[in-house]
Amino acid sequence: MKRVLWMGVGVLVTALFASGCGRVGVPGKDAFGGKKATTTTSKPSTNPIPKQPWFEAGSSDAKVRIIAFFPMDDYRKPVMDLLKGLAKQYPGKVYVRYTDVRTREGQQARTRAGGTGPGLLINSQSSMTIQAKPNPYEVDFNQDMGRYWTEDDLKAAVAQEVARVYGK
């Protein structure tokens, strides 16, 4: 019986050693000196911060307000173009403000809006239920476009909000 117990302890110690438990590591590096994988959903920006780190589109009197908090870079250019297009599609009804979150002002505005990372708000809401038939679904705009929401999701959410606020 003792022999079986000692064999079990030996197997456990071997498994711990092989899995790296107890191994001293260097922050940002894996056990073999390589770079650790990141689990962020946002692609880091490689573009410099523009001289004017924000833009506005549409009428400031519009009742549907989209406030976006993303870096202003090449990777997010499709989001910027989509937002400008929505302001043009609904003239006088949709206002867009896009703020580069890499700036102090952008970070402060995002914090005041109740967020922590990239994302956008439609009339102060970061998520919306899209009333698609036959199955409505929830969309969370608190991340980058592509993984959590699509261009079609944003178009549907804005169309739905325009119809709700201004009537069909």
33-81 pLDDT tens trace: 544 444 345 566 778 888 888 899 999 999 999 999 999 988 899 999 9
Candidates 120, 124, 143, 140; CA nearest to 69 is 120
Sorted by where each starts, the structural domains of the chain and their CATH numbers stand as: 54-166 (3.40.30.10)
pLDDT of residue 47: 80
Alpha helices in the chain (DSSP H): 2-19, 77-89, 104-112, 151-166
- Report the amino acid identity of residue 15: A
pLDDT of residue 51: 83
Q: Tokens for 17?
A: 């050693």
pLDDT of residue 121: 94
pTM of the entire structure? 0.71
How does DSSP classify residue 65? Answer: E
- Report the amino acid identity of residue 161: E
Q: What is the pLDDT of residues 85-143, one digit of tens each?
A: 999 999 999 999 999 988 888 888 888 888 777 899 999 999 999 999 999 999 999 88
